[in-house]
Amino acid sequence: MIVTVTLNPSLDRAVEVDSLGRGEVIRAAAAHLDPGGKGVNVSRALLANGVPSVAVLPSGGDEGNQLIRLLKAEGVEVLAVPISGRTRSNITLAEPDGTVTKINEPGPAMCRAEFDEVIDRVLVQAGGADWVVLCGSVPPGLPADAYAQLCRKLRAAGVRVAVDTSGPALREAALAGATLLKPNRDELAEVVGTPLKDLDDVVDAAQRLREWGAGTVVASLGADGAVLVDAEGVRTGTCPVARPRSTVGAGDALLAGFLAAGAQGAAALAEGLAWGAAAVSLPGSRMPGPADLRRHDVTIHP
């Protein structure tokens, strides 16, 4: 069983448009409303492929109630912590060529008491978990090391922890000894403070995170695939998508697939790439199921 923690979940409305013109009246070709947030998406992807998962998240206002209803409709087991703020709503505008424009709200502030309640819920669930996955942005009101605080408690209890976040929170998670980090190219460049011009730069940046204390690093590179850097060395892989529809949640699906396949070696990287590519071929933030996976399209390079 895999427990996910999303401190800043959302309702994600994805709108497909023929073209995006500033100041114009645009008619939507299609629209989708999905539960959102990185950890939420990891749980959704795992469950869509038969892997047990529990999603722990704060919830507030009518939007929070709607988020919980949408998750339960997909069969996701939710442990919601009530908060005084309102769960955020995000908008994604997707064009036919795969261009995606996102408008993300900052989310509600969380107080220390609300965060402590989340920690308590997670620690109870972690006892029977294979992994705890800490994902997404840190909401207003909490320090940058919020995920790192939880990571240290879990690591002290012998629990494997995966973290997918950005900025100072990503650096703090590495210093806290996260078992696995899953940044994308931009997040990786930001945290090391260096532009990543080629694959060697990506590998060097991933090794920097490992020097800080992280175990394994999986860096997602969009259409260029992903890079796995761990104690065994470096592996890269790609999985092309013939008709991309939305990149929202693709990195979350990649992480879910990597964890579901054992989180180690080329086979896990290949599974993650297949899940991530499948998510790109679906509208909005839909998560792929077994029928969507095209494992034969994956190529792994040593």
- For 124-162, write each residue's pLDDT tens digit: 999 889 999 999 999 999 999 999 999 999 999 999 999
Q: Under 8 Å CB-to-CB from 239, ≥6 apart: which residues?
A: 225, 273, 274, 276, 277, 294, 297, 298, 299
pLDDT at residue 118 in the model: 96
Residue 273 CB-half CA count within 13 A: 29
Q: What percent of the chain has pLDDT over 90?
A: 83
- Rounded distance between C-alpha atoms, residue 38 and residue 55, angstroms: 11
**In this predicted model, what pLDDT tens digit does every residue of 169-189 receive, in sequence order?**
999 999 999 999 999 999 999
pLDDT at residue 92 in the model: 87
Q: Residue 285 in contact with residue 9, Cβ under 8 Å?
A: no
Task: Supply the pTM of this predicted model.
Answer: 0.92
Query: Does residue 293 surpass a pLDDT of 90?
Result: yes
Which of these is catalytic: 201, 252, 292, 297? 252
The enclosing H or E element of 254 equals helix 250-260
**Mind spelling out the 3-state secondary structure of 274-297?**
HHHHHHHCCCCCCCCCHHHCCHHH
The enclosing H or E element of 148 equals helix 146-156
> Is 164 among the residues known to form the active site?
no
Q: What is the mean pLDDT of the chain?
A: 95
Query: Does residue 62 surpass a pLDDT of 80?
Result: yes
Helices and strands, number each (H, E), in the chain: 9, 14
Query: Does residue 96 surpass a pLDDT of 90?
Result: no
Q: Residue 76 in contact with residue 109, Cβ under 8 Å?
A: no
pLDDT at residue 288 in the model: 95
For residues 95-108, give the mean pLDDT. 88
- Rounded distance between C-alpha atoms, residue 291 and residue 170, angstroms: 33
Query: Does residue 247 surpass a pLDDT of 90?
Result: no
